[in-house]
C-alpha cells in the first residue's frame, strides 16, 4: 500500500491533464545537443525540430544570415547586470532578459532599466520550477505572476517569450504555454557559465562564445557570471568585425513568422 501511495502522485501528473491536452505526452526534455562549431549551426535533430515548430517554439534562426539573438537568464542579481546593460547601451545591441519572480522583487530598478533602454523582458517563471512536474494551472499561475509583476515594475504590458526553467520542457508544457500566449525560446549557443564559484576569467567566456557562434544563433548567457560581464564588450565588437549583427526576438518573429507564428490570444 505504501508503494502505491508513492507512485500515485507521479501517475496523477502524467494523466490528470488529459482532458485539457488530450493526453499529450509529459515526458521531460532536458534541452541540450551537440554544440555548433566552425560557424555552423547546432542541430537538435528532426524530432525536436518538428515538435518545436508545432508549438511555434524555436532555438535558432536562419543559417543563411549572420544575425545573432542575445538572451540572458536572470534568476537573481549578482552585481553584474548593470555592467552588461552599460555594454549593450554603448554597442547599441538589443537583448531579451528572462526574469523570475525573485529577480523582479529583489532588483526592480534593474528590471525597469531593461525596459527603459529598449530591451525585452521575457518570462522565466515565478519560482523556477521544473514545469513538467507541476499542473497546467500551476504553470499558468507561474507565468501570470511574472507578467503582472513585470507590468507593475517596468510598465511593459506585453509578454510573449518564455524560457523554460532549468531548460526542462515537454509537449504538455509547450501546449500549456502556447495556450497562455507564450512562445518557447530555447537556444543554440550556451556553456556552463552560471556557477558563480567556478568563474574562470573573461577569456573563458569569450572563447566559448566565439567557438560556438554561428549564423542565426540564439545565445544564452547568465547575468550572474562575472566572466560574461567582463567579456561581453569584446565579444560584441569582435563579432561585429566578423560581420554579425544583433537583432531582437521581435525581429526574429517578424522575419520567421511564417514558420513560427505569433499566437494571438
Give the model confidence (pLDDT) of 185-203 as tens digits. 999 999 999 999 999 999 9
Distance CA 222, CA 78 (A): 10
**Could you give the angle at which helices 81-91 and 226-241 cross, rounded to 10 degrees?**
10
Comparing C-alpha atoms, which of 255, 244, 183 is closest to residue 219?
244
pTM listed for this prediction: 0.88
257 confidence band (pLDDT: 50, 70, 90)? low
Kindly name the residue from 73, 193, 227, 230 that is annotated as catalytic: 73
Number of CB atoms found within 10 A of residue 241's CB: 8
Mean pLDDT of 169-189: 97
6-30 pLDDT, tens digit per residue, is 443 444 444 444 344 457 999 999 9
Q: What was the pLDDT predicted at 21?
A: 43
Mean pLDDT of 160-189: 97
Q: What are the b/e assignments for 15-47, b being 16+ CB within 10 Å?
A: eebeeebeebebeebebeeeebeebebbebeee
Selected residue with higher pLDDT from 157 and 1: 157
Q: What was the pLDDT predicted at 176?
A: 98
- Identify whether 43 is a catalytic site residue: no
CATH assignment of 28-256, among 3.20.20.370, 1.10.1740.10, 3.30.300.90, 1.10.290.10: 3.20.20.370
Mean pLDDT of 211-240: 98
Domain boundaries, the chain: 28-256
- Identify whether 265 is a catalytic site residue: no
38 confidence band (pLDDT: 50, 70, 90)? confident
Kindly name the residue from 17, 119, 124, 222 that is annotated as catalytic: 222
Rounded to the nearest integer, the mean pLDDT of the chain is 90
Cα dihedral sign for 114, 117, 119, 122?
positive
Q: What was the pLDDT predicted at 3?
A: 40
108-138 pLDDT, tens digit per residue, is 999 999 999 999 999 999 999 999 999 999 9
Q: What was the pLDDT predicted at 22?
A: 52
Q: What was the pLDDT predicted at 35?
A: 84
Amino acid at each position: 500500500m505504501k508503494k502505491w501511495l508513492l507512485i500515485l502522485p507521479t501517475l496523477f501528473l502524467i494523466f490528470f491533464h488529459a482532458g485539457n491536452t488530450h493526453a499529450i505526452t509529459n515526458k521531460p526534455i532536458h534541452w541540450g545537443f551537440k554544440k555548433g562549431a566552425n560557424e555552423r549551426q547546432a542541430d537538435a535533430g528532426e524530432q525536436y525540430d518538428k515538435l518545436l515548430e508545432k508549438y511555434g517554439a524555436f532555438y535558432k534562426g536562419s543559417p543563411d544570415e549572420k544575425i545573432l539573438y542575445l538572451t540572458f537568464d536572470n534568476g537573481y542579481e549578482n552585481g553584474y547586470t548593470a555592467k552588461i546593460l552599460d555594454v549593450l547601451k554603448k554597442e547599441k545591441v538589443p537583448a531579451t532578459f528572462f526574469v523570475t519572480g525573485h529577480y523582479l522583487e529583489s532588483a526592480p530598478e534593474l528590471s525597469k532599466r531593461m525596459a527603459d533602454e529598449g530591451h525585452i523582458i521575457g518570462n522565466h517563471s515565478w519560482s523556477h520550477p521544473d514545469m513538467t512536474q507541476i499542473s497546467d494551472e500551476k504553470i499558468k499561475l507561474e507565468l501570470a505572476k511574472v507578467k503582472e509583476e513585470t507590468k507593475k515594475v517596468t510598465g511593459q504590458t506585453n509578454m510573449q517569450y518564455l524560457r523554460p526553467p532549468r531548460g526542462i520542457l515537454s509537449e504538455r508544457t509547450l501546449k500549456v504555454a502556447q495556450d497562455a500566449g507564450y512562445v518557447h525560446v530555447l537556444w543554440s549557443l550556451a556553456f556552463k557559465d552560471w556557477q558563480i564559484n567556478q568563474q574562470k576569467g573573461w577569456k573563458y567566456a569569450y572563447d566559448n562564445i566565439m567557438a560556438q557562434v554561428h549564423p542565426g544563433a540564439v545565445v544564452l548567457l547568465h547575468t550572474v557570471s562575472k566572466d560574461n560581464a567582463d567579456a561581453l564588450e569584446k565579444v560584441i565588437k569582435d563579432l561585429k568585425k566578423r560581420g554579425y549583427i544583433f537583432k531582437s526576438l521581435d525581429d526574429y518573429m517578424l522575419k520567421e513568422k511564417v514558420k513560427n507564428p505569433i499566437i494571438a490570444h
